[in-house]
């Protein structure tokens, strides 16, 4: 079993006719994802290597039954694209776009919470259920089917830890990049709860980084709500206060949001925290037995 994406995924891509949109759409299809439609206003009636293009997300959903969308739209138009996706009725929205203004995402987040649809991202690498489907920009060759779920704020660390797991013959059930912006559609807790309900996920790796308090909140959730074991990694132990490191949300303010504070909070709740990707993989192997 997988969470969020799998054989049942019917994908449309908003921004399919752009260079990056086309490239990653075709890579997703090559992996085995059902790509049923693309959306670019003004280009309805065209196609991208056999994938029909529509003028609106609603038209695409009505014509093809798409239940998932990937947003590859420039930052200034991305919030409107997400609104359009919500109104089309798709179940899952995965926004790859980075650089969306935080105030735009606050409005999107508020609108989204009025319903039951799921947004992953923005500024994320997407989701992959190895051997089943992928939606996003992840390098699929580093993932293998298995029983470890992975949720991460960092795309690059996701790939590195998955590679370290592969060296120990450990595969993944689903890998979710939630994005590193200050405002994202899905939190660690949102994804951890889905892994907890998945009978084929036997352990979860959570990859956090400096900034914010999402990891601390996740520690409470893991202790109180999860029976599935969790191993964690926090990037940024050497990050100086007040300096943005990588993502827009990766910034320490005063004593809040440090890697050490997050490690202490997690370990206080029984979550082992690795100091590097290799150690994380070793902890996973130890927990799996």
DSSP letter at 248 equals: T
pLDDT of residue 163: 94
CATH number for 139-288: choose from 3.40.1180.10, 3.10.20.30, 3.40.50.1100, 3.40.50.261: 3.40.50.261
Q: Which residues contact 46 (CB under 8 A, 6 or more apart)?
A: 17, 40, 53
pLDDT of residue 235: 87
Q: Which residues contact 143 (CB under 8 A, 6 or more apart)?
A: 128, 130, 162, 166, 171, 172, 175
pLDDT of residue 257: 74
Q: CA 167 to CA 184: how far, in whole Å?
A: 31
Backbone phi, psi, residue 250, to 5°: -95, 75
What percent of the residues of the chain are helix, what percent strand, and what percent coil, each to the nearest 5? 35, 25, 40
Please tell me if the domain spanning 10-120 has the same topology as the one spanning 139-288: yes
CA dihedral sign of residues 128, 112, 182, 80: positive
Burial 255-285 (b: 16+ CB within 10 A, else e): eebbbebbbebbeebebbbbeebeebbebbb
Termini Cα distance of the chain: 21
**Cβ atoms of 153 and 180 closer than 8 Å:** yes
Which structure tokens are listed for 142?
């580093």
List, run by run, the mean pLDDT of 10-residue segments along the chain (289 residues). Answer: 94 97 98 98 98 98 98 96 97 97 95 93 97 97 97 93 96 96 95 97 95 92 98 75 50 63 94 95 96
pTM for the predicted model, two decimal places: 0.93
Write out the E strands in the chain.
10-14, 34-39, 47-48, 51-54, 68-71, 92-95, 118-120, 126-129, 133-136, 145-152, 172-177, 203-209, 230-235, 272-274
Which structure tokens are listed for 58?
């609603």
Query: Which CA distances in Å does 211 have to 4, 181, 230, 235?
Result: 26, 10, 21, 10
- When computed from its CA atoms, the radius of gyration of the chain, rounded to whole angstroms, is 18
Q: CA 235 to CA 17: how far, in whole Å?
A: 35
pLDDT of residue 2: 87
| CATH superfamily of this structure's domain 10-120 | NAD(P)-binding Rossmann-like Domain (3.40.50.720)
pLDDT of residue 250: 44
**Cβ atoms of 145 and 256 closer than 8 Å:** no
Q: CA 19 to CA 243: how far, in whole Å?
A: 33
- Residues known to be catalytic: 247
Q: CA 133 to CA 7: how far, in whole Å?
A: 6
**Cβ atoms of 203 and 228 closer than 8 Å:** yes
- Domain definitions of the chain by residue range: 10-120, 139-288
């Amino acid at each position: 079993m997988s969470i969020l994406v799998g054989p049942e995924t019917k994908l449309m891509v908003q921004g399919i006719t752009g260079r990056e949109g086309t490239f990653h759409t075709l890579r997703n299809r090559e992996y085995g994802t059902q790509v049923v439609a693309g959306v670019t206003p003004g280009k309805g009636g065209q196609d991208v290597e056999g994938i029909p293009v529509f003028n609106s997300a609603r038209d695409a959903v009505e014509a093809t039954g798409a239940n998932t969308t990937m947003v590859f739209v420039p930052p200034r138009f991305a919030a409107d694209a997400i609104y359009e996706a919500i109104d089309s009725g798709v179940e899952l929205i995965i926004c790859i776009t980075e650089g969306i203004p935080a105030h735009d995402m606050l409005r999107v987040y508020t609108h989204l919470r009025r319903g039951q649809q799921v947004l992953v991202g923005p500024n994320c690498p997407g989701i992959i259920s190895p051997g089943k489907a992928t939606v996003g920009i992840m390098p699929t060759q580093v993932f293998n089917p298995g029983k470890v779920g992975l949720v991460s704020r960092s795309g690059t660390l996701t790939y590195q830890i998955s590679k370290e797991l592969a060296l120990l013959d450990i595969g993944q059930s689903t890998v979710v990049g939630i994005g590193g912006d200050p405002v994202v559609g899905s939190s660690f807790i949102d994804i951890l709860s889905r892994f907890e309900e998945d009978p084929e996920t036997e352990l979860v790796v959570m990859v956090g980084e400096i900034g914010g308090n999402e990891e601390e909140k996740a520690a409470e959730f893991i202790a109180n709500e999860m029976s599935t074991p969790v191993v964690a990694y926090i990037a940024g132990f050497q990050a100086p206060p007040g300096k943005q490191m990588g993502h827009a949300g990766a910034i320490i303010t005063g004593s809040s949001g440090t890697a050490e504070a997050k490690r202490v909070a997690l370990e206080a709740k029984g979550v082992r925290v690795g100091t590097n990707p290799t150690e994380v993989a070793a902890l996973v192997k130890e927990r799996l037995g």
